[in-house]
A and B are shown apart, each in its own frame.
Chain A
């Protein structure tokens, strides 16, 4: 009886928190514009191909076999993995002091300046930043001119062909993501915890190592995950700065698809790349959780 009476009442009081209705349109969009194309790409990667690399009907694991056995392709995955690890570590180290400042400093013009400078590379196009590194490292660019002025070298160095230039440019492109992730996490640390640590006699270094660093673990993990996964797939910056011969997986996907027109192979390589990326990110997240639990326990 009471259940019957409650039903119309509940209808007169519509829910205040939204149900699933507003999510319908965005969900349909993501399914159609994102998941459907990805599924199509997966099917393409599993097709046999003819002599001109066009997909034929049927099923074949040939592309995956070739990705895993052709040095030109699997070495690019290892190379990307190595670059992604180096870039992630470098970005986190460089981002830490900036994020600390942004999370702790009082609001004012100086903070706005640092904030703008930090985010402006993220918001300037990747092509603009890569173009900038081309100029910086050019034969008569600022780096070479400075080295010559200091008498460290006579002829201009071929800096653009160095893998370190690509490394620097990629760090530059992705550093803002690390700053954002770390700022959120450092801003969440309570001032009282830091004061307590100092009052109990800890030096600044001790407070950093035993209080701040463990508490910023979520930000370190989030920053590592985003920088790592973006580095794994990056191709525009290495292509524009170092040229098409950079042995990176993202670039190999792009050249298989747009230069040699072997779309099925590009598809297979991109799925292996995605899988490796997701596995590493899952491991990093799990290790971060364990470390967090360890410091709490």
Chain B
């Protein structure tokens, strides 16, 4: 009897706890759902609920050279940024996560410090530096900006993996005659793989959506998709913006869902 009332209370408690979770999830989804729904509108308006259904805004986006060139810029940027960040983030995360040297804590603080600086400030600082170096509007600025912004996240997840590293495995490899470099490449890197993969995906998704710093450093020919959305939203509201936003959204949600199922990245965050 006492047991039963306890189970009842627990069920009631569980339901009571589910309500706020559901409400918060609804709040988080509302603006995203609205974007997706209006991307299929038949008319050029944001009336809700929209009248009719059409794919014309997707056609408009994919037939517009400006959007297509931005898609190409974002994709090319990704192909440069992710390998660079993975290289830097793996080395940095390994050093601060597993390292044994003086100043390790200071270094790990230095590596995550770009997160603490407002992006508006980071953008302005990079813009000023590019002006000094005469590189305004080049792809260099955009690549630097994206690597700086994503690097701290990559370092953090790799450091979590590195801290859990079993040093005896590395010692065993060296006892068996592997050079330190070989032991690093054949033992350490495979052991760090979950962290490296999670870091790569995080970097990819953040780079795809980055806008606050990019606005400062992107030139006329290096306009990423989010920066073009940023300009478009300020000038005119059009369902074609909703269409390109939906495409970006689908990519991000797919990445994160697959990632959690395969790697349980929730553990790293």
Residues of A within 8 A of B (CB): 13-23, 25-27, 29-30, 33-34, 36-38, 40-41, 44, 94-95, 97-98, 100-102, 107, 112, 114-121, 123-136, 138, 140-142, 145, 169, 172, 175-176, 180, 183-184, 204, 226, 229, 232-236, 239-240, 250, 253-254, 257-258, 263, 266-267, 270-271, 273-274, 277-278, 281
Contacts and interface: CB of A to CB of B under 8 A. Distances in A.
A23 B24 contact: no
B128 A133 contact: no
Interface of B is mostly: helix
B209 interface: yes
Contacts of A123: 205-206, 209, 252-253, 255-256
A126 B209 contact: yes
B4 interface: no
Nearest to A23: B95
B30 interface: yes
Interface stretch (B56-64, B65-73, B75-83, B228-236): B228-236
A222 to B, nearest CB: 12
Contact of A34 (B148, B237, B252): B148
Contact of B25 (A118, A126, A258, A267): A118
9 contacts: A14-B174, A33-B147, A33-B148, A34-B113, A123-B255, A128-B248, A141-B46, A176-B28, A180-B269
A33 to B, nearest CB: 5
B136 interface: no
A39 B222 CA distance: 26
Interface in B144-182: 144, 147-148, 151, 155, 167, 170-171, 174, 180
Given A20-B99, A30-B111, A235 B28 contact: no
Contact of A44 (B27, B128, B253): B128
B138 interface: no
Nearest to B93: A26
Tell me which of A34, A102, A145, A180 has the highest count of chain B C-beta atoms within 10 A of its own C-beta.
Answer: A34
A120 B88 contact: no
A129 B72 CA distance: 22
A267 B155 contact: no
Contacts of A124: 32, 209, 245, 248-249, 252-253
Interface residues of B, number: 95
B35 A97 contact: no
Nearest to A18: B99
Interface string B250-269: 00110111001100101001
B256 A172 contact: no
A239 B234 contact: yes
Contact of A135 (B35, B208, B211, B264): B35
B223 to A, nearest CB: 13
A101 B21 contact: yes
A127 B125 contact: no
B212 A235 contact: yes
Interface of A is mostly: helix
A55 to B, nearest CB: 9
A131 B121 contact: no
Contacts of A138: 46, 237
Interface string B195-211: 00000000001101111
Contacts of A239: 234
A114 B21 contact: yes
Contacts of B117: 34, 38, 233, 274
B233 A127 contact: yes
Given A273-B118, A277-B118, 7 more contacts: A37-B129, A102-B266, A125-B229, A132-B31, A136-B34, A254-B215, A273-B121
Nearest to B6: A198
Contacts of B256: 116, 119-120, 123
Given A14-B174, A267-B128, A27 B110 contact: yes
B25 A114 contact: yes
A132 B252 CA distance: 16
A232 B116 CA distance: 10
Contacts of A145: 47-49
A270 B118 contact: yes
Tell me which of A95, A117, A130 has the highest count of chain B C-beta atoms within 10 A of its own C-beta.
Answer: A117
A107 B264 CA distance: 9
A254 B157 CA distance: 31
Given A14-B174, A26-B89, A26-B91, A128 B209 contact: yes
